[in-house]
Structure 1
Amino acid sequence: MQPLISVVIPTYNRLGELGELLESLSRQTYRNLQIIIVNDNGVSVDALCSCYRELSIRVIDMEANGKHVRARNRGVEEAEGEFILLCDDDDLLVPEHIENMHRGIEDSDLVYSDVEIVEFNWSGGVRLPVSRRTFAYEHDLEAMRRFSTFVPSGCLYRRSIHETIGFFDTEVYHYWDWDFFLRVSESFRVRRVPAAGVLYAFALGGDNLSGQLEDMRPYLDKLSRKHGLGELPTKNFFLLLEEEDVKSREAETSLLWDGTPFRYRCMNTKNSEGE
């Protein structure tokens, strides 16, 4: 029998993106899933979730907007599965992703996959890819202390990890995932699954990973002090990917997405673009 996997999804006012994620979860070949959606005091997601009654979905409505790290912590607190899988509400999982991750974690405690960084445009009520970039790097713990290539969306880990290291650190905010990876790596077995089973939504022309760099600096400094990382750069994410020591870590991977969009049910539910 498949062990239960709890999928923790924080969300805030992105019904269309969340709908596509639910559609991708409904297509998973791994079926024993508990879906925990933490609505961070945004618009109701109940009508959307009712369109996916075959999924075991629990919605947690936050009484106030606590931001994404607190929302994830709340979801983890409510998780019942032996394993937890994290996913942002605007990212997508290819149908075999969770099965691949469960297979990969047999001799590990946390596994993370390669991803495709995808720029989407809404068209006719569905997101279509405008550009796709492979994001695959060798697992190198020392290199990960200089620049993290850990994408938390789609990662799978044993829920018992939290009994040892606690929850996600709200004090490092933007860098909660890097902090989590480093803390887990200190005491547990971590490995990369070389398959791009996650579609990481990213506006390549925007700056949602590299913008507001001065605002991010205090949190990066907190992360550095916590783990003794020294001086870390906050410059543009894609410029960092072109640096020699990061380029040298580029790895081969399996691309799993055939480009077919994830058109979600209940299209009368407005998406974030107002379609």
Structure 2
Amino acid sequence: MGAPCVSIIVPTYNRLGTLAELAESLSRQTFQDFEVILVNDGGEKVDLIQTLYPHLNITILDLPMNHKHVYARNQGVLQARGEFIMLMDDDDLLVPSHIERMVNEMNDCEFAYSDVEIINYRLENGSRIPIARTLFAYELDLEEMRRFSTYVPSGSLYRRELHEIVGLFDTEVLHYWDWDFFLRVAETHRVKRVPVAGVLYEYSDESSNQSKNFASKRRCLERFGQKHGLGVLANTNFFLLLDEPEVNKRKSESRIVWDGSPVISKLRREPT
């Protein structure tokens, strides 16, 4: 079997239910020339995903202990064979046209990211049912991106060779690895924002989203600011970010493509 066009890197830790929903959304993609590298970061076994979705080209890397998501992503990158890498969190989802659209956008850039919808869910019979959605779409301004990042890594696509030039993700800035990677790439390569909300970003009261952990973020933010010469930065999350005047002025229109339907995985549709 030849190398796939895209390698999708997914670190995961004890979230089999949402991981199955992600696999379901990948199985619905209009573009299927991709591999999925699941990096199980010392958590419960995820082999069931391969059983439920045998038509997906899935490789599972079982790490013997939990190293946190940045280290896990790096392990996935080292195993990637595709021309492009797409990043995904294990609780985010893609609309069916997303991978095809992003691959088509790579003719004039080395790195592309799309707009997202931030989704709040409730649980029903083990599946996430959407109850609220907020568009997160902002103009790309490289200078402003040094002050407030509006880059969401899930669903972003870039050329694998970038890692040979800028290195792997920085585990020392754990909560800001994505912002750090964006700034490092943007210094020397062409980056693009795709004004289509092709990613459903999970942010719910019931989730264990690490970006809510403000106490542990402060130290990483200080390291990040020192690394990039940015001084004191605001310790905030997406929803607080929306209220910042500097960010509000960058708010942009975007194409909404999700029909609002929940993604019910085979884990919930079929007996296991």
Contact 2:4/2:81 (CA < 8 Å) preserved in 1?
no
Structure 2 vs 1, CA of residues 55 and 206 (structure 1 numbering), >3 Å: closer, same or farther? closer
1:147 counterpart = 2:152: no
Q: For the residues of structure 2 that align with 1:105 and 1:193, how far apart are their CA atoms? A: 10
Query: Once the 2 structures are TM-superposed, how far is the Cα of residue 121 of structure 1 from its aligned partner?
Result: 1.2
Query: Once the 2 structures are TM-superposed, how far is the Cα of residue 230 of structure 1 from its aligned partner?
Result: 1.6
Matches within 5 A, 1:75-86: 75-86=76-87
- Show the counterpart of 2:68: 67
The total of aligned residue pairs comes to: 270
Query: Once the 2 structures are TM-superposed, how far is the Cα of residue 58 of structure 1 from its aligned partner?
Result: 0.3
Query: Once the 2 structures are TM-superposed, how far is the Cα of residue 4 of structure 1 from its aligned partner?
Result: 1.3
Q: For the residues of structure 2 that align with 1:122 and 1:101, how far apart are their CA atoms? A: 30
Question: Per the alignment, in what secondary structure is the counterpart of residue 30 of structure 1?
Answer: coil
Cα RMSD (Å) of the superposition?
A: 1.9
Question: Per the alignment, in what secondary structure is the counterpart of residue 153 of structure 1?
Answer: coil
Contact 1:29/1:96 (CA < 8 Å) preserved in 2?
yes
- Show the counterpart of 1:125: 126
Query: Once the 2 structures are TM-superposed, how far is the Cα of residue 209 of structure 1 from its aligned partner?
Result: 6.2
Q: For the residues of structure 2 that align with 1:93 and 1:255, how far apart are their CA atoms? A: 12
* Letter of the 2:203 counterpart: F
Q: For the residues of structure 1 that align with 2:22 and 2:185, how far apart are their CA atoms? A: 26
Contact 1:5/1:84 (CA < 8 Å) preserved in 2?
yes
Segment drifting more, 165-174 vs 116-125: 116-125
Structure 2 vs 1, CA of residues 181 and 102 (structure 1 numbering), >3 Å: closer, same or farther? same
Contact 1:48/1:269 (CA < 8 Å) preserved in 2?
no
Contact 2:17/2:267 (CA < 8 Å) preserved in 1?
no
Question: Per the alignment, in what secondary structure is the counterpart of residue 187 of structure 2?
Answer: helix
Structure 2 vs 1, CA of residues 146 and 207 (structure 1 numbering), >3 Å: closer, same or farther? farther
Matches within 5 A, 1:193-212: 193-203=194-204, 208=209, 211-212=212-213
Q: For the residues of structure 2 that align with 1:189 and 1:244, how far apart are their CA atoms? A: 27
Question: Per the alignment, in what secondary structure is the counterpart of residue 199 of structure 1?
Answer: strand
Contact 2:4/2:33 (CA < 8 Å) preserved in 1?
yes
Question: Per the alignment, in what secondary structure is the counterpart of residue 50 of structure 1?
Answer: helix
Query: Once the 2 structures are TM-superposed, how far is the Cα of residue 194 of structure 1 from its aligned partner?
Result: 0.3
Q: For the residues of structure 1 that align with 2:208 and 2:3, how far apart are their CA atoms? A: 40
Q: For the residues of structure 2 that align with 1:149 and 1:105, how far apart are their CA atoms? A: 20
TM-score (norm 1): 0.93
Q: For the residues of structure 1 that align with 2:35 and 2:199, how far apart are their CA atoms? A: 19
1:161-215 deviation per Cα after TM superposition (whole angstroms, max 9, x unaligned): 0000110000011000000000000111001000000000002688946644232
Q: Which runs of 5+ in 1 are unaligned?
A: 271-275
Q: For the residues of structure 1 that align with 2:249 and 2:6, how far apart are their CA atoms? A: 34
1:51-70 deviation per Cα after TM superposition (whole angstroms, max 9, x unaligned): 11111000000011111000
1:159 counterpart = 2:149: no
Q: For the residues of structure 2 that align with 1:230 and 1:237, how far apart are their CA atoms? A: 20
Q: For the residues of structure 1 that align with 2:208 and 2:63, how far apart are their CA atoms? A: 28
Query: Once the 2 structures are TM-superposed, how far is the Cα of residue 269 of structure 1 from its aligned partner?
Result: 7.5
- Show the counterpart of 1:136: 137
Query: Once the 2 structures are TM-superposed, how far is the Cα of residue 50 of structure 1 from its aligned partner?
Result: 1.1
Query: Once the 2 structures are TM-superposed, how far is the Cα of residue 244 of structure 1 from its aligned partner?
Result: 1.2
Matches within 5 A, 1:5-84: 5-84=6-85
Q: For the residues of structure 1 that align with 2:95 and 2:103, how far apart are their CA atoms? A: 14
Q: Which runs of 5+ in 2 are unaligned?
A: none
Structure 2 vs 1, CA of residues 122 and 103 (structure 1 numbering), >3 Å: closer, same or farther? same
Contact 2:29/2:96 (CA < 8 Å) preserved in 1?
yes
* Letter of the 1:177 counterpart: D
Question: Per the alignment, in what secondary structure is the counterpart of residue 251 of structure 1?
Answer: coil
Q: For the residues of structure 1 that align with 2:237 and 2:179, how far apart are their CA atoms? A: 17
Query: Once the 2 structures are TM-superposed, how far is the Cα of residue 123 of structure 1 from its aligned partner?
Result: 0.8
TM-score (norm 2): 0.94
- Show the counterpart of 1:262: 263
